[in-house]
Amino acid sequence: MSTLQGITNNQIYPQPGFSAARDENGGWRGSAEFVVTTATWAQASWRAQFAKGTPITSLDPTLDPFFSFLTVDTQTVTRNEGGLVTVLVEVTGGADQWSTEGSSLADAALPTYRLEGRLQEFPLSQHPKWIDLSSDEQYSLSNLLNDRVVYGIPENETEKKVFWPQGNLWFADEQIASPDGLDFLNLILAGVKSYFVPTLTWTESTQGSSPMTAEQIDKLGRIDPSPRGNPPKPTAGTRDWMLTGASQEQRGELYQTQIEWTLSDREGWSSFLYS
């Protein structure tokens, strides 16, 4: 039987209701519905016409050629009465993303940006004031910080001191004498071994039809003096930005990418390590 309810075998019948929407990052998502006979769907060559990556305009030539960049991502098949099969396809697509140099296609939407602040924990020995201590103070405090020495009253003594449990005494008022050194000493004795540093990240999100390039990936872990999107410019110290994160998610022919920059501490990222 070659015809069922006016529908012929070996034909694809687009249904009304095609829709597509573009989001703020330039990515497109949409859906379309088609009807075929059960006999048509039973043939692998006809099922293959709904394969992932097929342009929607190949399935429905009546659509405006503008939508040719939309391709099949997923399909949902429903068997109906009367020997018919309904195929619902989800389609995706988009313009090319911005390159790391900042250029973009004319049709691309502007990326979106997000500023996020976090507190990150670091050992006291990385604090800028610690670095300014004398080498003797750093040595004594480091041993105390790492529980290699103790602060208390040694055997046969009457005053509190920083000392090795086995002997070899250090006097706190001689070895740790600067105001900052004594402040660190009191903090360590109170159980404080770390401090929090405010960390800012700047994230760019965009979508398009091309994946990240090798050049973009190679920039990961390098100082970037001017991230895109006009992030805030700190005035304290010599802080600068580094490209610290890159992620990519693919759905059909649509690539969603995120690039993240992290602001350094007061002294800036080491140009020796990260240039």
Q: What is the pLDDT of residues 115-130, one digit of tens each?
A: 999 898 989 998 989 9
What was the pLDDT predicted at 61? 93
What was the pLDDT predicted at 172? 52
Percent of the chain with pLDDT over 90: 36
Rounded CA separation 65/250 (Å): 24
Rounded CA separation 224/263 (Å): 10
What was the pLDDT predicted at 245? 92
Confidence of residue 89 (pLDDT cuts 50, 70, 90): very high
**Mean pLDDT computed over every residue of the chain:** 83
What was the pLDDT predicted at 14? 94
Rounded CA separation 115/201 (Å): 6
What was the pLDDT predicted at 255? 83
What was the pLDDT predicted at 48? 94
Q: Is 133 helix (H, G, I), strand (E, B) or coil?
A: coil
Higher pLDDT, residue 235 or 92: 92
| Domains in the chain: boundaries | 3-94, 112-120+195-274, 121-192
pTM of the model: 0.58
What was the pLDDT predicted at 169? 52
189 phi and psi angles, rounded to 5 deg: -65, -25
* Bridge pairing between strands 161-164 and 167-170: antiparallel
With contact defined as beta carbons under 8 Å apart, do 231 and 202 qualify? yes
Q: Is the dihedral of CA 108, 114, 115, 120 positive or negative?
A: negative
What was the pLDDT predicted at 72? 93
Mean pLDDT calculated for residue range 32-60: 94
Question: Considering only CA atoms, which of 183, 196, 269 is closest in space to residue 227?
Answer: 269
Mean pLDDT calculated for residue range 229-234: 84
What was the pLDDT predicted at 28? 85
What was the pLDDT predicted at 194? 94
For 180-206, the pLDDT digits (tens) are 988 998 899 889 999 998 889 999 888
Rounded CA separation 185/124 (Å): 11
